[in-house]
Amino acid sequence: MDTLTGEIVTIIYFNEINSYTIARMLTDEEEITIVGYLPFVNAGDNLTVSGQYVVHKEYGRQFKVETFKKNIPETPDALERYLANGNIKWVGPKTAEKIIQKFGEETVYILEKEPEKLATIKGITEEKAIEISESFIENKELWKIVSFLEKIGISASYAKKVYELYGTNAIEEIEKDPYRLIDVVRGINFKTIDEAALRLGVNIDDEQRIIYGIKYALLLATYNGHTCVIKENLTDFVSTLLQISESTIKEFLNQMKVRGLIVIEERDEEEWVYLAEYYEAEKFIAGKLILLDNVKNRKRIDNIETKLERIEKINRIELSDKQREAIYAVNENNVCVITGGPGTGKTTIIKNIIDLYKNEGKKVVLCAPTGRAAKRMTETTGEDAKTLHRLLQISKIDDAKYINEGIDIQPIDADVIIVDETSMIDLALMKYLLMGIYEGTKLVLSGDVDQLPSVGPGSILKDIIASNRMNVVVLDKIFRQAAKSRIILNAHRVNSGEHFVEEEDEDLNKDFFFVQETSEERILNFVLSLYKDGLKQFDNYEDFNSVQIITPSKKGDVGTRELNKKIQELINPKDIKKEEKSIGAFTFREGDSVMQIKNNYDIAWEQNGEISSGIFNGEMGTITKISNISESVEVDYDGKIVTYAFSELDQIEHSYAITVHKSQGSEFDVVILPVVRSAPMLLTRNLLYTAITRAKKLLIVVGNKDIIKFMINNTDSKVRNTGLKYKLEVI
Flag the least confident range among 54-63, 340-349, 652-661: 54-63
Of 683, 705, 702, 701, nearest in space to 692 by CA? 701
Q: Strand 512-516 relative to strand 695-703: parallel, antiparallel, unpaired?
A: parallel
The DSSP letter of residue 53 is E
Residue 228 three-state SS: coil
Q: For position 589, what pLDDT does the model report?
A: 95
**292, 471 Cβ separation under 8 angstroms:** no
Integer Cα distance of 128 and 118 in angstroms: 9
Closest CA to 567 of 653, 660, 688: 653
Bridge partners for 700 per DSSP? 513, 672
CA atoms within 13 A on the CB side of 168: 8
Range with lowest mean pLDDT among 52-61, 167-176, 394-403, 466-475? 394-403
Is residue 421 within 8 A of residue 369, CB to CB? The reply is yes
Q: What is the mean pLDDT of the chain?
A: 89
Positive or negative, the CA dihedral 321, 327, 332, 334 is positive
State the average pLDDT over residues 208-212. Answer: 95
Spatial separation of the C-alpha atoms in residues 513 and 535, rounded to whole Å: 12
For residues 505-513, average pLDDT = 83
**E-assigned strands of 15-102?**
20-26, 31-37, 46-56, 60-71
CA distance 246 to 244: 7
Q: Would the pTM of this model clear 0.75, i.e. be above it?
A: yes
∠ CA 707-713-715, rounded to 5°: 120
Q: How many CB atoms lie within 10 A of CB 484?
A: 16
552, 687 Cβ separation under 8 angstroms: yes
Sign of CA dihedral 608, 609, 610, 614: positive
Among 71-80, 101-110, 481-490, 633-642, which stretch is predicted with the lowest mean pLDDT? 71-80
pLDDT at residue 362, as a whole number: 97
Give 350's pLDDT tier (boundaries 50, 70, 90): very high
Q: Is 33 helix (H, G, I), strand (E, B) or coil?
A: strand
Tens-digit pLDDT profile for residues 437-482: 999 999 999 999 999 999 899 999 999 999 999 999 999 888 867 7
CA distance 605 to 699: 33
Cβ contact 228:221 at 8 Å: yes
Of the ranges 72-76, 327-331, 399-403, the best mean pLDDT one:
327-331
pLDDT above 70: residue 718: no
Distance CA 149, CA 321 (A): 66
Please say if the pLDDT value at position 357 is more than 90. yes
User: What integer pLDDT is reported at residue 628 of this predicted model?
Assistant: 83
What one-character DSSP code corresponds to residue 302?
Answer: T
Sign of CA dihedral 498, 503, 509, 512: positive
Q: How far apart are CA 296 and CA 43, in angstroms?
A: 65
Amino acid identity of residue 420, one-letter, is D
Q: Is the pLDDT of residue 309 over 80?
A: yes
Angle separating helix axes 685-692 and 705-713, nearest 10 degrees: 110
Q: Which helix (H) or strand (E) holds 2?
A: strand 2-14
Return the H-helix or E-strand segment holding 320. Answer: none
Q: Which of 72, 75, 61 is nearest to 30 (CA)?
A: 61
pLDDT, tens digit, for every residue of 641-668? 999 988 788 889 999 999 999 999 889 9
Q: Please count the other Cβ atoms lying within 10 Å of the Cβ belonging to residue 272.
A: 23
Q: Is the pLDDT of residue 717 over 80?
A: no
More confident residue, 430 or 72: 430
- At residue 501, the 3 state secondary structure works out as coil
Structure confidence at residue 540 as a pLDDT band (50, 70, 90) = low
The pLDDT tens digits of the residues spanning 149-201 come to 767 666 666 766 777 778 778 888 888 888 888 877 677 788 888 988 898 88
Cα-to-chain-centroid distance, residue 73: 40
Query: DSSP secondary-structure letter at 422?
Result: G
What pLDDT does residue 203 have? 93
SS3 assignment, position 275: strand
Q: Does residue 535 have a pLDDT over 90? A: no
pLDDT tier at 545, thresholds 50, 70, 90 = low
Which pLDDT value is given to residue 692? 96
Q: What is the pLDDT of residue 402?
A: 59
Give 533-560 as a DSSP string. HTTGGGTSGGG-S-EEEEES-SSSTTSH
Question: Does the structure show a pLDDT above 80 at 507?
Answer: no
Q: Please, where are the H alpha helices in 553-621?
A: 560-571
Helix ranges (DSSP H) in 84-205: 93-103, 107-113, 126-151, 159-166, 170-176, 190-199
Whether the Cβ atoms of residue 599 and residue 398 lie closer than 8 Å to each other: yes
